[in-house]
Amino acid sequence: MDNINNIMLQAAEAFKQYRKVSGKQKAVFLRAIAEEIEALGMELIHTTMEETNLPEARLLGERGRTIFQLKMFADLLEEGSWVEARIDTAQPDRKPLPKVDIRKMSVPLGVVVVFGASNFPYAYSTAGGDTASALAAGCPVVLKGHPAHARTSAMVADAILRAVERTGMPEGTFSHVDGGNGFEIGKALVMHPVTKAVGFTGSFAGGKALFDMANQRPEPIPVFSEMGSINPVVLMPEKLSTSSESIAKDYAGSITLGVGQFCTNPGLILGVDNADLQSFIKVLAAEIEKVSPSKMLNAGIYQNYEGKKTVALAQENVTTEAESLVEKTDSIQGLATVASVDADVFLANPTLHQEVFGPYSLVVKCKDLAQLATVIQHLEGQLTATFMATETELQANDDIVEALRNISGRLIFNGVPTGVEVCYAMHHGGPFPSCTDARFTSVGPDAIKRFVRPASYQSFPDSLLPAELQDTNPLNIWRMVDNEWKK
């Protein structure tokens, strides 16, 4: 582990300089990373296709999203208001006590360890959202590559290092650690005394282990883990009575999109058991049976899918409604599957509440809306929750809407949860166990807030303040001055 120690110490040394780099300079750096990744061309795409079984079109789109994220954070840094500067000027004549001058802004935490994700080799991995937002915040990044796409990770890491050199960033601003011998390396990275935060996307077991390690340190640190979700979907009776076929077709597509290997895959569907729900199940089953199986990301994920699916389907009173009838042509192709169960059984069996990562969904048949609300109250924290309903139903069932909002980070009306827009209003996070901290998002500009902390300056000479807090506002950013937003 000597090499790990050297990497971490180099990153800590880099932080002393990198934290002082201006927003505009960091923006140039992030744009350079985007350019270097783009310059890898189709060689990167083809390498990732070999390693992950993901199709070219999907990877081209994901690479585009990754480049967009880097440029988005560059734009954020150039504008500059993200630091949330607050200025309360002195009032020396205030009675009974004078008021001192005090100013506050966000400052970087320090060295951030990022773990690459298996299912998004670009957007959540080496140069993905965690890395981009940490670098934007002013934090050096030590990236542990995912072994499922080691060559891809190494290629992207080299692109970042070229951008470091090209833009004159301090050596150690970014480091890449090979993903082999995963547990011991991961533990060494999280437990190293210079590590100040961790970003992770993956399984509950992996994310919770990192969280527990971080809290056992002499100096506990934040771990921002996204750990999965079953993303419940509520089918309201009135909406289902007029749209059961179209909803079923939409959800067949959402369940099987990307072989179900998305954190927002709709793994649980709730409805009142009646003729319309049976019609929905029938159409959904017919659509699922037509889906051609595709290779999953790797053998480990396929085996995990098959194992958890087998356990779920073996539970008492669970009915397998449909499985893809198209013949497999490869051993690690995941067969799309839909099952159903009565709500009484679901409520009594915690095994059925667990995520089955892959093209699988469970329909829970409730006696009435009261029991449906009870099921929601027994669910754990989720990334998303979806309400398929008329506007009238939405208004008349505020208790169900509120129950869904209380367990989810993103509430969807008449749509599918798959597809995560990268924008200011997106919140990609949720209550535990979907994430370790529901207050933060891993997608969108606000992801930068995970890797900063507020710092106040009291009675400082103006010339010694950061530019963001100086009286003349040399960066021309929006600031709150004496309770008013000003430039």
Residue 375 phi/psi, 5-degree rounding, is -60, -45
Q: What are the DSSP E strand ranges found in 152-203? A: 174-177, 195-201
Token pair in block for residue 296: 């999953």
What is the distance between the alpha carbons of residues 409 and 239, in angstroms, rounded to a whole number?
A: 24
For residue 404, give the H/E element and its range. helix 398-407
Measuring CA to CA, how many Å separate 50 from each of 20, 150, 151, 295, 334?
41, 11, 10, 12, 18
Q: Are 322 and 280 in contact (CB under 8 A)?
A: no
Secondary structure (H, E, C), 281-323: HHHHHHHHHCCCCEECCCHHHHHHHHHHHHHHHCCCCCEEEEE
- Please, what are the domains in the chain? 2-227+438-486 (3.40.605.10), 232-413 (3.40.309.10)
- Are the C-beta atoms of 443 and 452 separated by less than 8 Å? no
Query: What is the C-alpha to C-alpha distance for residues 468 and 180, in angstroms, rounded to an integer?
Result: 42
Among 36, 62, 226, 287, the one annotated catalytic? 226
Clarify whether 263 is annotated catalytic: yes
Confidence at residue 343, expressed as pLDDT on a 0 to 100 scale: 98
Contact 282, 249 (CB under 8 A): no
Instruction: Check residue 183 and give its pLDDT.
Output: 86
Which amino acid is it at 296?
A: M
* pLDDT, averaged in runs of 10, over the chain (487 residues): 91 98 98 98 98 97 98 98 98 96 98 96 97 98 96 98 98 91 88 98 95 97 96 98 97 97 97 98 98 95 97 98 95 97 98 97 98 97 98 96 97 96 97 97 98 98 97 98 96
| Catalytic residue flag (residue 139) | no
Per-residue pLDDT, 65? 97
d(CA 222, CA 112): 10
* Stated pTM of the model: 0.96
Which sign does the torsion angle of CA 114, 13, 178, 192 carry?
Answer: negative
Whose structure tokens read 């992207």?
156
Which residue among the candidates 263, 321, 366, 468 is catalytic per the annotation? 263
Is the link from the previous residue into 433 a cis peptide, with omega within 30 of 0?
yes
